[in-house]
Amino acid sequence: MTMAHDHDRKDCLAMFAKLSEYLDNELDELTCKDIEDHAGECIPCKACLETLRQTIGLCRSLAPDEKPVPEAFSNRLKALIQKMSREKTTS
Ligand SMILES: [Zn+2]
């Protein structure tokens, strides 16, 4: 495993773009693996992914019958992802 390196920020942006689909489970296994691989090497992206997962996990634990993430909630996550990717672009 490589140490955190100065990778192309475009990789991060591409990951963020895929992330909202990933959260909806719309991605195939290979793309999910891409995202997880990137998060494995990119600490800011990993932190972000884990925060999102925890948020979803929390939401699901409140719904014992394992409903899918409510649409409004998923939309909020998408807005958050968009905001973060915008911040990455401008910084
Ligand atoms: Zn990244």
Span 41-66, pLDDT tens digits: 888 888 888 887 777 665 555 555 55
**Residues 71, 78: Cα–Cα separation, whole Å:** 10
- Residue 89, pLDDT > 70, answer no
**What torsion, rounded to 10 degrees, do the Cα atoms 26, 31, 34, 38 define?**
-30
Separation of CA 59 and ligand 1 centre (Å): 25
Distance, CA of 21 to chain centre:
9
Query: Cβ of 57: how many Cβ atoms within 10 Å?
Result: 11
Percentage of residues of the chain with pLDDT beyond 70: 66
Separation of CA 85 and ligand 1 centre (Å): 10
pTM over 0.75: no
Separation of CA 84 and ligand 1 centre (Å): 12
- The identity of residue 73, as a single letter, is F
